[in-house]
Structure 1
């Protein structure tokens, strides 16, 4: 049994060390009835946003701290661009992005991100 765990350990450790934990993105996040979007700083490309538990605190902050509908908020996060079919409102965007870890957010947009 001990040998089994040793072999399993040596097989899984390289996989864990090469796992893709995503890229860091920063830009403008907008939430609303038909909008759930992210636009990277300095870009015109907009993504439909997907997240589960990782973005809930950030989204609650957005809902309670923005003063206008569809107000942009600064967001920095670790995530992945997804290559999946989308429908509904998401079809109007350039792609789909998944948030896996929120790093920072603020209602103040930094100058390089306006």
Structure 2
């Protein structure tokens, strides 16, 4: 009788223990993927009808969709524009950037984004400078 009870407990609770371990592994994998995310270096420009990013050393220019990270950059750009008394102030950034499928974004076919090579979103900004470093050449 005791052995049947022990087997029943093992059968009932063993899968629960296994689920907890696998959930922990999933969390660990997610943390690893966000840490190993590539960092892109380039120049962000914001202003009237402009929200763009150009990687250092490249000809391509991308339209940037609104995210909390880009909103923070917009505020910095606005402050620079007021301080320097000139719009469209470039900001050097090192950031996590993700492409947006052109077919899923209506602005790409009709709107300001249509004039750009692609659409991206900025999810995290790791560094921002108000002066462009000499290592970042724009073409």
Same fold (TM over 0.5): yes
Structure 2 residue corresponding to 1:13, chosen from 22, 25, 46: 25
Tell me which residue corresponds to 2:46: 31
Aligned position for 2:132: 109
In the alignment, the residues of structure 2 paired with residue 77 and residue 12 of structure 1 have an alpha-carbon distance, to the nearest angstrom, of 28
Structure 2 vs 1, CA of residues 96 and 8 (structure 1 numbering), >3 Å: closer, same or farther?
Answer: farther
Which structure's residues are more often helix, by fraction? 2
Corresponding residue pairs, total? 114
**Structure with greater proportional strand content:** 1
User: 1:8 and 1:108, CA in 2 relative to 1: closer, same or farther beyond 3 A?
Assistant: same
Deviation for aligned residue 1:51: 3.6
Give the match's secondary structure for 1:23: coil
- Give TM-score scaled by structure 2 length: 0.68
The runs of 4+ residues in structure 1 deviating greater than 3 Å are 1-6, 18-22
Shifted more, 41-50 versus 55-64: the winner is: 55-64
Gaps of 5+ in 2: 1-11
Q: Which runs of 5+ in 1 are unaligned?
A: none
After TM superposition, the structure 1 stretch with the greater mean CA deviation from structure 2, 14-23 or 60-69, is 14-23
